[in-house]
Amino acid sequence: MHVFPAALLAMALSTTALAQTVPPATRAAPAPIAAPTKPEPPKPEPTNPDPAAINARLAAPLPADQAAMKAHVLFLASDAMKGREAGSPEFDIAAQYVAAQFYAAGLRPGGDRGDYLQRVPLVRYKAEGQGRFVLTPSKGQPQPLVFGQDYIPAADATHREASLSAPVVFVGQGIDAPQYGHDDFKGVDVRGKIVLFFAGAPARFGGEERAFFGSPQTKLRTAAAHGAVGAIQLASATLTPEAMAKLAETYDRARMTWARPDGTGNGEPIAMLGTLGPAGAAKLFAGARTPWSKIVAQAAKPAPRYRPVALPGTLAVTTRTSITPAESSNVVGLVPGSDPALKDQVVVLSAHLDHIGVGTPVNGDAINNGALDNAIGIASLIEEARRFKTDGTAPKRTVMFLAVTGEEKGLVGSDYFVNHPTVPLGTIVADVNLDMPILLYPFEDMIVYGADRSTLGPIVRRAVNSAGVDLSPDPMPEQGIFVRSDHFRFVQKGIPSVFLWPGQKGPGKAAVEHFMSTNYHKPSDDLTQPILWDQGVRFVDVNYRIAREIADGAQRPLWNRDDYFGRLYKGATAAK
């Protein structure tokens, strides 16, 4: 068993309370893992918890495999790590910890300088000043719009100063989706113009496609492909002046992306210039063939259908952005492949190391420890790496273990990696992503987002079933989870990818709902939660079986022939 020194337990103490080596499997026929006995329900925490009592519970003996996994989380989710925000010194310490664990597990360095780190240059950027939006009607004098009433400027990571003057075209929700027979750009020329659109996507779209088409990134790329030179998002048509003013209070909130060689940030082909409120929209629509009142009426319908509208006059926009350099790292370790024909192919297992740092105090605690999001995912990654090395048989393909930075900033570290890979991008055949497994209940099934999109599906099902676990469909398709974590950056490079979660059968649904409503992105996501470490061991085992089958399979994973993302990103597809 692992014995924790007093100093480590003290680090795990939250402001209000305290914030594996897996046995080798039998290679020929791995036996299913028996489900654990049902745990006793957690006892309510006292109003003023006794630190000694909490420390005693955290230091309670566990089997070696569970204790090893818990030890990683004790360190990574401690108050000393201050929430592991990307670009912070504490994140750097966490990255060095993971690198040391990769070394201890016997992984080869996969970083950019012969070590385990891939340096990720970052920028913090935010709007500087209120900008200037000036409407010049086709007949009339220039009319400055009012900050906080008519418009809110957006920061542009790609330019410290930006100025643009062009006609404006309203294009509904800014979506071009032929598979749904939906084209907001039909019959209108937006070349050299600014496009204006609402957020979101039609409810009739499938959940994952709806999240994809509703993302600002997709809308900016679509507008640029049609020749637009800038974009503005419309706030809700019924947004009140008070709500618009409230939005304006955080207009200069800092954001983060990876840095380009010239010191500016990575961005889209065209910039999001800002947000236009209903009052500003009414001014732009004045004199248009379709009045703003008709757009408002259409927006109130359950399934609005918009027609593009070329608005009269021109809009001149000037913005300034403060851009400050920062640094972080991805952590990369490798288990080299053994098969002469397959060893140059790489299977990536990924998890994000960062969390959201220090925020607004809740019950006196401001540190967002991120125990489940995603210290436990990193712990799973480390223990899975150890499993590959202790198994006794090297995988046929190379397996990469990748702990990324900046997921909470918008999948920044994974985006940097796929654009600056430490192995040739074409050699990466799959990504299996571990993000926030909610290990608070004995899971009876697994959810594997993206499994039905590629030949990874049958592989995943066999591996999951071999561990005595069922594979269940996505219980929340409306959330579009497949496009919201680091694996999607691999998808955007045409690489088949999946994202794993414990399922929601039995007690799972209630436990997940409670975590999401009570602890997600809050200081209470710490080690006071009733984490079931035996479930962590089961989770590692299922992931290992999936990764091992991908690594040893005769064929590399391929997209299903009719999959939208496989076609969109030109990935290798199955024959039928």
In a domain, 28, yes or no: no
User: Are 352 and 308 within one domain?
Assistant: no
Q: How would residue 15 be classed by pLDDT, with cut points 50, 70 and 90?
A: very low
DSSP letter at 33?
P
In a domain, 545, yes or no: yes
Q: At what angle do helices 64-76 and 376-390 cross, to 10 degrees?
A: 140
One-letter amino acid at 46 equals: P
The whole-angstrom separation of Cα 376 and Cα 380 is 6
Summarised one tens digit per residue, pLDDT across range 485-538 is 999 999 999 999 999 999 999 999 999 999 999 999 999 999 999 999 999 999
| Nearest in space to 367 (alpha carbons), one of 525, 255, 520 | 525
User: Are 205 and 177 within one domain?
Assistant: yes
DSSP letter at 574?
-
Decide which of 312, 340, 362 is a domain's last residue.
Answer: 312
The whole-angstrom separation of Cα 523 and Cα 355 is 11
* Lowest-confidence region among 14-23, 339-348, 401-410: 14-23
> What residues have CB less than 8 Å from 1, skipping those under 6 apart?
61, 62, 63, 64, 67
pLDDT at 47 (0 to 100):
55
The alpha-carbon radius of gyration of the chain (Å, integer) is 25
User: Are 11 and 117 within one domain?
Assistant: yes
Strand, helix or coil for residue 162: strand
10 Å Cβ neighbour count for 40?
7
In a domain, 36, yes or no: no
User: Are 167 and 79 within one domain?
Assistant: no
Total domain count, the chain: 2
pLDDT at 494 (0 to 100):
98
Summarised one tens digit per residue, pLDDT across range 26-35 is 333 333 344 4
User: Are 394 and 307 within one domain?
Assistant: no
> What CATH number should be reported for the domain holding residue 57?
3.40.630.10
In a domain, 27, yes or no: no
In a domain, 462, yes or no: yes
Whether residue 500 contacts residue 434, with contact meaning beta carbons closer than 8 Å, is answered with yes
Whether residue 350 contacts residue 434, with contact meaning beta carbons closer than 8 Å, is answered with yes
User: Are 172 and 279 within one domain?
Assistant: yes
Which tokens is 413 given? 């570290």
In a domain, 133, yes or no: no
| Statement: the pTM of the whole predicted model exceeds 0.85 | yes
Mean of the pLDDT values across residues 121-144? Answer: 96
Decide which of 265, 283, 312 is a domain's last residue.
Answer: 312
User: Are 360 and 485 within one domain?
Assistant: yes
User: Are 257 and 332 within one domain?
Assistant: no
In a domain, 37, yes or no: no
User: Are 69 and 111 within one domain?
Assistant: yes
Decide which of 286, 312, 338 is a domain's last residue.
Answer: 312
> What CATH number should be reported for the domain holding residue 241?
3.50.30
User: Are 272 and 396 within one domain?
Assistant: no
Mean pLDDT (the chain, rounded): 91
User: Are 64 and 108 within one domain?
Assistant: yes
User: Are 304 and 340 within one domain?
Assistant: no
**What's the domain range around 182?**
138-312
In a domain, 526, yes or no: yes
